Amino acid sequence: MALNTIALELVPSNVERGTEYAVEEARKVLALSASSGISGRIGHVMIPGMIEEDNDRPIEMKPKLDVLDYWSIIKPELPGMRGLCTQVTSFLGEDALRQRLTELSGAGFDGIAFVGVPRTMADGEGEGVAPTDALSMFDNVVPNRGAILIPTREGEAGRFEFKCRQGATYGMTQLLYSDTIVGFLRDFARDTDHRPEILLSFGFVPKMESKVGLINWLIQDPGNAAVAAEQEFVKAMAAMEPADKRQALIDLYKRVVDGVADLGFPLSIHLEATYGVSAPAFDTFAEMLSYWSP
pLDDT above 80 for 159: yes
Question: With contact defined as beta carbons under 8 Å apart, do 216 and 231 qualify?
Answer: yes
Separation CA 187–CA 261 (nearest Å) = 14
Question: What was the pLDDT predicted at 50?
Answer: 81
Residue 123: phi and psi, rounded to 5, are -55, 135
Question: What was the pLDDT predicted at 60?
Answer: 87
Read off the pLDDT of residues 178-203 as tens digits, 9 standing for 90 and up: 999 999 999 999 999 999 999 999 99
Separation CA 25–CA 20 (nearest Å) = 9
Separation CA 32–CA 48 (nearest Å) = 21
Separation CA 246–CA 240 (nearest Å) = 9
pLDDT above 80 for 53: no
Separation CA 40–CA 38 (nearest Å) = 6
Question: What was the pLDDT predicted at 88?
Answer: 93
Question: With contact defined as beta carbons under 8 Å apart, do 131 and 109 qualify?
Answer: no
Question: What was the pLDDT predicted at 51?
Answer: 76
Separation CA 170–CA 198 (nearest Å) = 6
Separation CA 178–CA 256 (nearest Å) = 8
Separation CA 143–CA 18 (nearest Å) = 33
Question: With contact defined as beta carbons under 8 Å apart, do 97 and 138 qualify?
Answer: yes
Question: What was the pLDDT predicted at 116?
Answer: 84
